[in-house]
């Protein structure tokens, strides 16, 4: 299948607790979801009406079958998914909290995606691809994944395809913080648009100041043209290579159910707007809107909107003609 959008990552079968403020040790009831930062973006892009393809490896096991079924249900292409009998599909547990971010426990070491065969990348049809989303999670899961990630970036550079990069820091997946910081910043230098959060900025370059974070990444690599610093409920700060900068405020929501997946929804909103030729400011407004909708649902990507739902949300919030 030819697609406008590609991403590479590790999909996960997520078991989310349905019992609020009960620890993972004590919770007894869980609901199964499709999860994984990059797959969330692929689902978000597809739900907003764009052809989307996901690159990964899963096991020939119930979780792998569940993930492929969920991708089909969300109209995400699976042509570049390698299914293997040699390794198992990752899964994770997540608690339900009334405030703050939920706790997560991974079962992913040695998974199928961690043994991803980069030869799959040579089969990709890039002819219709307009944008590719990259994340700092996939290169963290194994040396093989990091090598495949670097090879993928090389292919994208050769084909001059636009890229977004979300650091998506997962310290528990790296050998050390020093290795994480050095590798993430080196990989970020190859991306056109970088999407750090202020907490990530503090870890990766020592500041929570949005402009300082943006300046660091604009100087970090020649390829980088735009840095979008996510400010949580306050929206996003944007700075471009030519010095242009602006802040786009976020949206207020009545109830935050689950913060996981909000950043991935933000990326999906930004990417789809840019594919449609909208201005960067319009793209950030959409990104903020998708992120706001995401936090109102318990699954990592269940709250991502259709074009009609996005238009209704923007109208309700008195933002016209930007869906």
Active-site positions read 264
Chain centre to alpha carbon of residue 323: 20
* CA distances to 108, 173, 281, 292, 312 from 138, in Å: 11, 10, 29, 25, 34
Which residues lie closer than 8 Å to 184 by C-beta, 6 or more apart? 136, 167, 169, 204
Q: What is the DSSP letter of 77?
A: E
Structural contact between residues 240 and 226, judged by C-beta atoms closer than 8 angstroms? yes
The sheet that has 12-20: what strands, in order across it?
30-35, 12-20, 91-96, 104-107
Of 317, 285, 269, residue with least CA distance to 5 = 269
Alpha-carbon dihedral sign for residues 164, 301, 235, 288: positive
Of 6, 78, 16, residue with least CA distance to 302 = 16
Structural contact between residues 251 and 287, judged by C-beta atoms closer than 8 angstroms? no
Counting Cα atoms < 13 Å in the Cβ hemisphere of 88 gives: 10
CB atoms under 10 Å from CB of 273, counted, come to 24
**Residues belonging to the chain:** 323
Cα separation, 217 vs 229, whole angstroms: 10
The values of phi and psi at residue 78, to 5°, are -125, 20
The encoded tokens of residue 53 equal 């393809």
């Amino acid at each position: 299948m030819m697609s406008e959008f590609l991403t590479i990552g590790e999909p996960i079968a997520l078991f989310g607790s349905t019992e609020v403020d009960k620890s993972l040790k004590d919770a007894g009831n869980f609901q199964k979801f499709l999860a994984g930062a990059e797959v969330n973006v692929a689902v978000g892009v597809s739900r907003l009406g764009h052809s989307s393809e996901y690159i990964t490896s899963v096991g020939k096991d119930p979780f792998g079958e569940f993930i492929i079924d969920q991708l089909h249900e969300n109209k995400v292409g699976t042509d570049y998914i390698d299914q293997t009998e040699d390794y198992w599909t990752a899964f994770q547990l997540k608690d339900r909290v009334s405030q703050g971010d939920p706790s997560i426990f991974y079962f992913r070491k040695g998974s199928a995606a961690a043994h991803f065969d980069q030869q799959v990348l040579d089969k990709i049809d890039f002819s219709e691809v307009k944008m590719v989303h990259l994340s700092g999670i996939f290169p963290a899961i194994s040396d093989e994944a990091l090598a495949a990630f670097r090879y993928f970036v090389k292919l994208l550079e050769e084909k001059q395809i636009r890229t977004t990069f979300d650091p998506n820091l997962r310290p528990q997946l790296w050998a050390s913080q020093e290795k994480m910081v050095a590798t993430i910043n080196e990989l970020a230098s190859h991306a056109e648009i970088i999407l750090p959060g202020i907490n990530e900025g503090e870890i990766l370059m020592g500041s929570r100041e949005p402009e300082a974070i943006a300046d660091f990444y604009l100087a970090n690599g020649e390829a980088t043209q735009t840095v979008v610093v996510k400010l949580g409920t306050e929206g996003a700060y944007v700075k471009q290579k030519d010095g242009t900068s602006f802040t786009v405020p976020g949206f207020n929501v009545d109830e935050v159910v689950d913060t996981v997946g909000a950043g991935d929804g933000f990326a999906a909103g930004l990417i789809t707007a840019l594919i449609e030729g909208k201005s960067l400011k319009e793209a950030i407004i959409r990104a903020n809107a998708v992120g706001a909708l995401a936090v109102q649902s318990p699954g990592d990507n269940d709250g991502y909107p259709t074009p009609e739902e996005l238009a209704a949300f923007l109208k309700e919030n008195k933002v016209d003609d930007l869906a």
